[in-house]
Chain A
Amino acid sequence: MTTEVAATTGELFSKNTQSFIYNNQVKATQRMLDFDYASGRETPSVAAIINPTGSDGFSKFFFGNSEVLIPVYKSLTKAAKMHPHVDVMINFASFRSAAPSTEEALDTPQIKTVVIIAEGVPERKTKQLTAKAKALGKIIIGPATVGGIKAGCFKIGNTGGTIENIIESKLYRPGSVGFVSKSGGLSNEAYNIISRNTNGLYEGIAIGGDSYPGSTLLDHLLRYESIPEVKMLVCLGEVGGRGEYDIAEALRNKKITKPLVIWVTGTCSKAFKTEVQFGHAGAKAGSEAETADAKNAALKAAGAIVPNSYDDYDQKIKATYESLVEKGGIKPEPEPPVPKIPMDYAKALKEGLIRKPSNFICTISDDRGEELLYGKMPISEVFQQDIGIGGVLSILWFKRQFPSYAAKFIEMSIMVTADHGPAVSGAHNTIVAARAGKDLISAVASGMLTIGPRFGGAIDGAAQMFSDAYDRGLTPAQFIAEMKKKGVNIQGIGHRVKSVNNPDMRVTIMKEYAKKHFKTTPLLDYALEVEKLTTAKKDNLILNVDGCIGICFADMLRNEMPKSEAAEYIQMGALNGLFVLGRTIGMIGHFLDQKRLKQGLYRHPWDDITYMSQ
């Protein structure tokens, strides 16, 4: 049985060929564009990316020093319509979806070449696709391949590796050698050998390791035969299958007339007692004829240049090339300048070639390692030590782990500030927004925005005022007098309904806790002296809950850090943060409550507004 000649002969790629990348392959796409730039292409070889699980849009890539936008489409149909000149699809779909997506590409009239990267496509599927491609005069490269490369013109996916290797193996400009093999890894090796021993590669294709590849070694050798610029052929066969006999026949029939250096790997199989499955699916000798030794002998008999082993493969390539040069078949051209490709930032950084000041600094957490860190504490430790919300807050806000009495106090503060009923401005705004149909974030933000000097701000204000007065050495009486003179209310003093005889339980709880567990409470003691004087004037001028939390918190901070640092935190607004944190719990509660109750849009009644415009 002979393999039919692929209906497609001659060139598959040119310097203007553009392709679709099926599945979002960022690295491979960038590598293609780097190759394009090095080869002096004017347009990127990728016209668009088809991302079946994404949505239409754009993706940014480097093209040399500048950046380009590559369109992304959800469907091939749309991509084809938008880019009618594209005739190659590089299919990175998984083994499950490679077949249907390839079929779709074959059904797209403009697509002439489909490359299937996936390994593990069922053979029957591949054969069906191959038959379809042949009937349509199209060609499939793969499955289970890295692709191929036409030097200086077009590079498929990851072929040829990084840009350094492209430069090293001179793949940015064409030579005279046409290469084909099954293996992608060995192709890259062969490009290296070819660049060291000849004027370079013209085109190289890896047909993939499967038993029944979409296009065969012979298909591509015949293509190279038809391309005038290709002066010599290099091929690497493999134990298993009968494809190399078709090559021998083509040599005998003079369908291949250019010098062909070929080696069939797997001569070691005779050393193995039982059948060994090598790395590739197709690499398995089913009969004597499929062994590497038999195929090498057949090829030699048919006129191919066959080395004694892979070890002198390079020497045979060199000798064949030199004899072509000698006979005038190849005229070596002067080497063009080596293109310069900017190094990737990440790579240069990794190699220590560059440095750059960072724009951001973070000292409280680190998400880069195996485990999330709060400060220096791994998240697992956070739970093992059961440091609680108070512990976490102390690390993230104050960069130290407070002892448990302080952590507990933080938690108590959050608990007592969590809510204060629906009538206060924060809750009210949240409710009105919730009833206007807004989402959770908007409704809570609406409530949050009322927090400030008049609502919730007293915690912060009290802490600042009392610590300032205490630190300046004012007696409680001097402090009160000073404030009166300025015409300013003392923050944290006074309550609408609570009084000396009707104390606020929240204040009692916090006060007692502080007295019992804090090492010292100078500010609280000072505030209580102030309270004695104010309540003497008016019964309800008590230390209220905001004042109590703020002042106790300031005491607590002063116990745990230098006074100046504690003052700085209060200055920065840490205590406002405490109220925001606590009250968010209540505001979310009010939002959920309104939604649960299906409350409609709130409209303020006219009779509650005094209209005075007339």
Chain B
Amino acid sequence: MAHKAIREADGKRMLARLFKDYSNGKYVISDKCVTVGPDTDMTELPNQYKWLTTEKLVVKPDQLIKRRGKNNLILVGANYDQAKKWIEEKAKAPITIYGKFDADGKPADKGTVGQLTHFIIEPMVPHNESDECYISMMATHDGDAILFYHEGGVNVGDVDAKASRLEVPISTVPTAAEIEEKLLEKVPVDRRKLVSGFIEALFKFYADLNFTYLEINPVVVTQNAVIPLDLAAKLDNTAEFESGDKWGDIEFPVPFGRTPTKEEAFVEDLDSKTGASLKLTVLNPEGRVWTMVAGGGASVIYADTITDLGYMNEMANYGEYSGDPNEEFTYLYAKTIIDLMTRNKNQKGKFLLIGGGIANFTDVAKTFKGIIKALSEYQQKLQENQVKIYVRRGGPNYQEGLMQMRELGKRIGVPIEVYGPETHMTKIVSIALNGGN
């Protein structure tokens, strides 16, 4: 789905491989960069990358984590043995990472718990802190924007407020002169040409590879070199058919702390096998309100309404199915959710909302077939868990679909209330949770 974050190491490998082509060979970016993942044999690694044992190293987790410095997750100047030990230490058990810090550097939020699994090792680049700058590029509505600040690093602060900004209209590339004028005012005159050339080439690279976000902070600027140190990037994954070859063998990792559960991974796998869309995020497996909603837009509204009615903490999942999935996929999707919701009993009972708007072209009766099959299979568990089911849907063939749902209720002895387009889409939420009020 459009903007997808990539690993720092993947971004750097793209730069090392391609940047010279975008700068007519003027800038060469080091390819000394190694990823250590859960299956990496760290004892074997130095045989392949000799520099690991001859240079001083920098080690960081590579899992889309912001504020690694403030979270104490950067090891600088280590030798290989120290790096290896540090990684083993950090990957041993789940840790908490904080997103906000106060002025004293103390965590200012609840933090996110997760497991570190991927690290990046690079040679240490000795430099003066005063040479650190900030560069970022991002997609905007009409094109892109380039942000530059003559200071950078961990403490750069609010770049939105203080960095210089250059809007780049779509299908254009800013000239070096434009970049110098709009962005490099505070850069020493003798370095400007070097930096503007770098930014120009970086923008071409960014645009041609369909990045939607690229941040290098810090980037070290000296009189004769520009060296990216930390990098974060997002790609437009719909452009894979255009830029996939240039991206190389990359993956789009899930953010730290959001390792998918077995069921989420299963649905993700189903989703990848069909042209239709199947999504599942488990928010609270102990929650009493479960949803199975058709449509990307409608699913959000159901979740909104549950939240608005004050059942935020009881909301068990977010998910949607759309794009006319076939009976088999709908069945597997429904089964996954029904299985999850009937694992632990709650004496107050549970709710399953099978909602949706009025479909444009999805055959309602056909998609309901898969859901009905799953519900029939779980007859006993649904009864034991005191599940009440509420259905609301419209669209092609909806009368037949709704009739089948009504008959299902009688057949399996589970209360199922069924509504069509004459009832407001989210009304079943209040009917279920508040008795209609």
Contact = CB atoms under 8 A, between A and B. Distances in A.
Contacts of B396: 161-162, 165
**Among the interface residues B238, B241, B279, which one has the most CB atoms of the partner chain A within 10 A?**
B238
Contacts of B142: 1, 4, 127, 130-131
Given A189-B425, A193-B424, A279-B279, A211 B359 contact: no
Given A161-B359, A210-B2, A186 B298 contact: yes
Nearest to B294: A185
Contacts of B140: 1
Interface string B402-437: 000000000000000000010011110110000000
A192 interface: yes
Contacts of A121: 238
A118 B315 CA distance: 33
Interface in B306-358: 306-309, 312, 315, 318, 320, 322, 356-358
B236 A123 contact: yes
Contacts of A189: 298, 357-358, 394, 425
B297 A120 contact: no
A182 B296 CA distance: 10
Given A159-B360, A268-B307, A309-B308, A192 B299 contact: no
A198 interface: no
A124 interface: yes
Interface stretch (A13-21, A280-288, A455-463, A490-498): A280-288
B296 A209 contact: yes
A275 B255 contact: yes
Contact of B299 (A1, A4, A279): A279
Contact of A95 (B143, B238, B357): B238
A196 to B, nearest CB: 8
A274 interface: yes
B369 interface: no
A124 B112 contact: no
Nearest to A190: B357
A188 B357 contact: yes
B225 interface: no
B301 A310 contact: yes
B169 interface: yes
Nearest to B400: A351
Main secondary structure of the interface of A (DSSP, over half): loop
Interface string A296-337: 000000000000111100100000000000000000000000
A274 B426 contact: no
B297 A183 contact: yes
Contacts of B376: none
A532 B398 CA distance: 79
Given A122-B238, A124-B236, A185-B296, A211 B2 contact: yes
B171 interface: yes
B197 interface: no
Contacts of A265: 297, 300-301, 304
9 contacts: A4-B142, A125-B239, A160-B360, A193-B424, A268-B315, A278-B320, A282-B2, A309-B305, A310-B304
Given A265-B297, A272-B281, A283-B300, 17 more contacts: A130-B142, A165-B358, A183-B297, A185-B296, A185-B297, A185-B359, A266-B300, A268-B300, A268-B306, A270-B307, A271-B303, A276-B281, A279-B299, A279-B300, A280-B297, A310-B301, A311-B427
Which 10 A-B residue pairs are closest in the complex by CB-CB distance?
Answer: A279-B296, A183-B297, A189-B357, A122-B239, A281-B2, A268-B303, A185-B295, A309-B308, A186-B297, A268-B307
Interface of B: 1-3, 112, 139-143, 167, 169-171, 207, 210, 212, 236, 238-239, 241-242, 255, 257-258, 277, 279, 281, 283, 294-301, 303-309, 312, 315, 318, 320, 322, 356-361, 394-396, 421, 424-427, 429-430
Interface of A: 1, 3-4, 27, 95-96, 120-125, 127-128, 130-131, 146, 158-162, 165, 168, 181-186, 188-189, 191-193, 209-212, 236, 238-239, 242, 265-268, 270-284, 292, 308-311, 314
